[in-house]
Structure 1
């Protein structure tokens, strides 16, 4: 059960981080964010993004999650470093990246040499 919840949260987070979503934020309107996001330190946000990246990239690349630790760490750091305070606050409130943050996340995928999802 915990694994299913973690997987679901990871997929939502990654879709939410928009690293993998090319669509608009409206696709997440029914999603209820984890209340812990509101007070989580930035390092925890980075960890969530890194874990979500590993889950989705493992599926995309048909690879082990552990093999994606380094590139997903690159992605998580680059994405959060690029976000401004308003984008981080939006993520904390909604549980997903808004449109401007999504564009930065896609750029981070490219710079870390990770494939963009379709």
Structure 2
């Protein structure tokens, strides 16, 4: 993969995460506000930001943790499926692109 693809994926991920955080912020103020909803949205937002930080820093583990955490919590919250699953998809694609970009090193002699 070229570095250009990585830059495209990084930009797409950042825009997607900002949109996701905007949706969470708009949904937070809807009727039925509770501290539980606030905590749940904070966890979702934190996982999304963790995944985006992993993409921007080109690290696979934080990206995968963010995607898997959002997927697991997204299955529990059916109302947000429409927004959580595309974010998970973008993070998984970014993980694949980043993994393909990393150079493979041979065994070191010694």
- TM above 0.5, yes or no, is no
TM-score with structure 2 setting the length: 0.34
The structure showing larger relative contact order (alpha-carbon pairs under 8 Å, at least 6 residues apart) is 1
| Structure number having the greater helix percentage | 2
TM-score with structure 1 setting the length: 0.32
